[in-house]
Amino acid sequence: MSLSHHTQRASGPGQFRLAYTRIEAADLLGINPITLDRLAKRGLIRPSRAIRRPLYPHTELVRFLEDTKPLEP
């Protein structure tokens, strides 16, 4: 399931959620939550810590995917 497909389904057509929990963000990226924690610890993806638990902004998930596109041969 693609990131855009999930975000449209989450809030209705043409809309997306502003942020996701750790579990939701990992699911959207197709990785384990522990891997997401490791990426955050290395500074490769930056959660918002405005509240007690980390939230992963939609824009940050998209930025991470854009920045980590595979190199073309």
Q: How many CB atoms lie within 10 A of CB 69?
A: 7
In which band, very low, low, confident or very high, does the pLDDT at 50 lie, cut at 50, 70 and 90? confident
At residue 47, φ and ψ (nearest 5 deg) are -80, 155
Indicate the fold that domain 18-67 takes in CATH: Multidrug-efflux Transporter Regulator; Chain: A; Domain 2 (1.10.1660)
Q: How many CB atoms lie within 10 A of CB 30?
A: 10
> Per residue in 6-33, pLDDT tens?
544 455 666 678 999 999 999 999 999 9
> Domain extents for the chain?
18-67
Q: What pLDDT is stored for residue 61 in this prediction?
A: 96
